[in-house]
Amino acid sequence: MSDKKNIAILGSTGSIGTQTLDVIRANPEAFSVEVLTGNGNADLLIRQAIEFNPNTVVIADESKYQYVKEALASHDIKVFSGNKAIAEVVQMDSIDIVLAAIVGYAGLESTLSAIKAGKQIALANKETLVVAGDLVTALAKEKGVNLYPVDSEHSAIFQCLAGEFHNPIEKIYLTASGGPFRGKDKTFLSSAKKEQALKHPNWEMGAKITIDSASLMNKGLEVIEAKWLFGLKPEQIDVIVHPQSIVHSIVQFNDGSMKAQMGLPDMKLPIQYAIGYPNRMRSDFPRFDFMKYPQLTFEPADTKTFRNLALAFDAMNKGGNAPCILNAANEVAVAAFLKDKIGFLQMSDLVEKCIQTIAYIAKPSYEDYVETDKETRRIAEENI
């Protein structure tokens, strides 16, 4: 009997997916790849499949199915296409853990499907909990499924809680680097270009999350995700700007004591912790040197200039389908900004308009979330 964990990587061609394969490459005795899925990057998906020899590969873009199938014809690998296929293959008996790294709302269906099948989840897709946190956490509880956070901030909280799960949390502090526009004012931001927004000072990430970091929406989504992951009330969550990105987040307990998780900014560490849990596996990642960082600084987040963070806190407080509206409007806004259709500050305007326009539902069903997402995207597109 092998002790290897069989992993399904949803979104293997993206930033988190490729770094997960780096971790697996470094630990071949601990992991084997069972499923790889990609969206449209067929060539990279084919190369990954040939190297890791999974049981199954799914390309979401159905127009590239034939191309992938022919490229892998001489390999013993099953090939499927489309999002429905992704939601089906995650239920395979041979899978031990599903790494959910499909970007945005698109990752919700397959994550819910994996939980229904009782698979453990390494969650890199924060939008799943932002959009439908109540449904996802209730289903995970019902099925006895653990959600292991992959976001560096939530991984930090999770690591600080090891051995403390029975102790009440008083408060958590999610740290934010402040992104490339930290300290800038509205005058500067009104003419900020995507090239500037995509230059993150500390982290290497995909385009969507990098823009979200620049607008502080990423932190807003993380705040909502933290509420669901750790069963917190909105007033128990705070955000502090920490430009060096060394303290990844902090837990404060009810005796006033605080625990922080620290390390160099490298997504491979939280990925490895999530898929290797409960074991800490050896790594050759660079080590932190205190003398290179003699000062670690902290400052409040500027929610007046970066309104997305305030909008996210409002949506969390309101609950219901408000975070779903926030997320869908933001996905449309970021895509429009990346295509130079709207300005940097107009992203917040568009999100706010959608939140004010779309009908509020206090206790949404899954169908309500699907409908809210669709309706929000339609209204957002019309307002660009």
CB-based burial, 11-46: b 16+ in 10 Å, e otherwise: bbbbbbbbbbbebbebbeebbbbbbbbbbebbebbb
Under a CB-based contact definition with an 8 Å cutoff, are residues 121 and 98 in contact?
yes
Phi-psi region of 382 (alpha: psi -120 to 50; beta: other; left: phi over 0): alpha
Mean pLDDT for 360-367 is 97
Cβ pair 245, 175 in contact under 8 A: yes
CA distance 163 to 160: 8
Instruction: Please give the average per-residue pLDDT across 225-245, as a whole number.
Output: 97
Q: What is the pLDDT of residue 206?
A: 84
**pLDDT value of residue 1:** 47
Q: Tens digits of per-residue pLDDT, 160-185?
A: 999 999 999 999 999 999 999 999 99
Q: What average pLDDT does range 68-88 have in this prediction?
A: 98
pLDDT single digits (tens) 15-35: 999 999 999 999 999 999 999
Q: Are 334 and 347 in contact (CB under 8 A)?
A: yes
pLDDT tens digits for range 319-328: 999 999 999 9
Q: Is the pLDDT of residue 383 over 80?
A: yes
State the burial class of residue 288 (Cβ atoms within 10 Å of its Cβ: 0-12, 13-18, 19+). exposed
Return d(Cα 116, Cα 144) in angstroms, integer.
10
Total-model pTM: 0.95
Mean predicted confidence (pLDDT) in 52-78? 98
Domain regions of the chain by residue span: 5-149, 155-318, 319-384
Please return the burial class of 250, using the count of CB atoms within 10 Å of its CB with bins 0-12, 13-18 and 19+.
Answer: buried
Read off the pLDDT of residues 182-223 as tens digits, 9 standing for 90 and up: 999 999 999 999 999 999 888 878 899 999 999 999 999 999
The fold of 5-149 is Rossmann fold (3.40.50)
Above pLDDT 70, what percent of the chain?
Answer: 99
Write down the mean pLDDT value for the chain.
96
CB-CB contact of 196 with 180 (8 Å): yes
DSSP code, position 120: E
H, E, C per residue of 31-82: EEEEEEEECCCHHHHHHHHHHHCCCEEEECCHHHHHHHHHHCCCCCCEEEEC
Q: How confident is the model at residue 341 (pLDDT cuts 50, 70, 90)?
A: very high
Give the span between the Cα atoms of 191 and 381, in whole angstroms: 21
Tokens read off for 328: 């869908």
pLDDT at 202 (0 to 100): 85
Question: CATH classification of 319-384 is 3.40.50.920, yes or no?
Answer: no
CA distance 322 to 208: 21
pLDDT band at 2 (very low <50, low <70, confident <90, very high): low
Residue pLDDT, tens place only, 91-149? 999 999 999 999 889 999 999 999 999 999 999 999 999 999 999 999 999 999 999 99
Percent of the chain with pLDDT over 90: 96
CA dist., res. 7 & res. 191, Å (int): 44
What gap in Å lies between CA 70 and CA 102, rounded to an integer? Answer: 24
Q: Which helix (H) or strand (E) holds 248?
A: strand 247-253
